[in-house]
Amino acid sequence: MPALTLREILALDPVRAAEPELLAGHTALDRPVRWVLPLLLGFARSGGTPTSEVYEGANFLDGGELLLTNGFGLTDTEESIRRRYVRELAARGAAGLAVEVGRSLPSMPAEVIDEAHRRELPLLAMHRVVPFVRITEAANRAIVARGLSGRSVVRPWGDDHTAALLADLADRAALNQPEVEARAALAGFHPGPGARLIGVSLHGTREVGTVDRAVRLLGGAGVMRAAFPGDVLALLSLPGARAGDPVKAVQEAFRTSAVPGLTVAVGHAVSASDGGSGWLRWSDTLRAARTTLELALTVPPAEPGVPDGPLVTSSRALALERELTRGGVEANRERLAALVQHSLGPLLAWEAAHPSDLVRTLETHLRNGCSPTRTAALLHIGRQSLYQRLERIESLLDLDIDDPDLLGELLAATCAHRLVRETGAVVRGGLRTVA
């Protein structure tokens, strides 16, 4: 289905209520509109020269946006800057510019009209004040209903624009910050100043109730969530003033809310806003959660999970596995095997002749900061038995496993051994991508 056109946008009731007058671009009314974005123009002076942060914001447009502005920045600036602003919008492929006149801007400057004529950029003067939020919500909902900004790809979730936004972010589709924030607002997702965003991916359920229960436990968190064919995907927003590690807080909430059999992967925490490219961080944490989920489902765990409970992990917990398996285990198998043989050769030879659990013991010990108490508890053995194993390992490898210079190599090698030896033997279910 074709995208919504500018002509159709102008026919919407909230737009008509603003009494729009088309001053330029009469031949371009049938161009498609991807999104309607509010833009509050404001100019400042730097060294006596007027500048505009919003004018620079034209660089973040992808094309097809209809921009709404109060026109304040067009009142006290030079003609050349006004013309340049219009030229930049046209060059970026904006679908049009709608300017509120009568309050901040008494009338449309002649040079703005002239430049819009020259560039065939639709220019609208809105003669009555209508809150921009009413216009953007009505227009963007109509765009979503028509087919998500005119895109021709048929998505399995139909007109669920929350699912569509999460999928676009997880797939890192071509987006920009104003579009992401506007689409998030339509989904009721409003990260506050300083908020920390965390992506979460769940496997083993087609319901979003687990996410909702975790959000209630977190108290004050915002969320976008949707179910997909292979997993449930969510983006959580935690207040910036919240104390403590946000990733650990989210993990604990899901350990409490998730039922046995579920696998939950938590991405890293990112800032909700980071200039014009902040949406890339939104994408990064969602992608990290989905990558971590796939690893959790296909890679044998370094440590046993809680019996009869959900498996809740994070991108930080599986960071080493992610780095070692970029491109897949099979593509890296030869390299990983060489690493294992180089670092653990004598230990592997001993285990081949004497059935034992030395490599697993070494990895568990290293992953837990070389803490005998923690290692013994996880392996369900006594401390004396652990000390005997560690002495055997040091004797076979002829090194001190507490040597800081060796920790990185030994941990990478023991992890690689687990991946090469056991991957494929333990698979907790398939995972389909959202695209």
| pLDDT one digit per residue (tens) for the chain, 435 residues | 457 889 988 988 889 889 999 999 999 998 888 888 887 544 444 444 434 444 555 556 778 889 988 877 777 678 888 899 899 899 888 999 999 998 778 889 999 999 999 999 999 999 998 888 888 877 877 776 665 333 333 344 455 788 888 988 888 876 777 778 888 888 889 888 889 999 999 998 888 999 999 999 998 889 999 998 778 999 999 998 888 999 999 999 999 999 988 999 999 999 887 655 678 889 999 999 998 998 888 887 777 665 667 899 999 999 998 889 887 777 888 999 999 999 999 999 998 898 888 999 999 999 998 999 999 998 999 999 999 999 999 999 999 988 889 999 999 999 999 888 865 433 344 333 332
Which of 414, 400, 421, 307 shows the shortest CA–CA distance to 360? 414
Tokens of 123: 């220019």
In the three-class reduction of DSSP (H, G, I as helix; E, B as strand; rest coil), residue 306 is classed as: coil
Q: Are 332 and 325 in contact (CB under 8 A)?
A: yes
Which of 199, 195, 136 shows the shortest CA–CA distance to 165? 199
pTM: 0.63
Tokens of 60: 């973040």
Q: Are 41 and 77 in contact (CB under 8 A)?
A: no
